[in-house]
Amino acid sequence: MHEAGIVQSLLALAEEKARAAGAERIGSIRLRVGRMTGVVPEALEQAFAILRTGTIASEAALDVEYVPGAFWCPGCAGEFETADLIGSCPTCGEPSADLRRGREMDLVSLEVE
């Protein structure tokens, strides 16, 4: 379960940023995760619930925005969304491996006290 490693890194970064801001507690963490990262939402939430224990984020809420995958279609010169790793344009049917969005993994914001 690579979600545990993701959460460990997330908590370390969040704690570092919170302490640098003089905070003693993290109330919430906003995260942006691309659907093409392979992250399983339930596993991420479960890992967060377990691994936040004993940290300054022990009571923090996790708010995750999941970003759909978007590919570029050279034939139509436009983007299209899909959940597949290699998408076919819904307009012209041309396959594309040119992923433009969906691999994000960003700490967007923290609410600290």
pLDDT tier, 1 (very low <50, low <70, confident <90, very high otherwise)? low
Q: At what angle do helices 2-20 and 41-51 cross, to 10 degrees?
A: 50
Report d(CA 52, CA 43) in Å as an integer. Answer: 14
pLDDT digits (tens, 9 = 90+) for 26-41: 999 999 999 999 999 9
pLDDT digits (tens, 9 = 90+) for 45-74: 999 999 999 999 999 999 999 999 999 999
Report d(CA 89, CA 76) in Å as an integer. Answer: 8
8 Å CB contact between 83 and 50: no
Q: What's the pTM?
A: 0.85
Residue-averaged pLDDT of the chain: 94
8 Å CB contact between 90 and 67: no
As beta bridge partners, residue 99 has 71
Q: Is the pLDDT of residue 84 over 80?
A: no
Question: The domain at 2-68+101-112 falls in which architecture?
Answer: 2-Layer Sandwich (3.30)
3-state helix, strand, coil in the chain (%, to 5): 30, 35, 35
8 Å CB contact between 3 and 86: no
DSSP 6-39: HHHHHHHHHHHHHHHTT-S-EEEEEEEEEGGG--
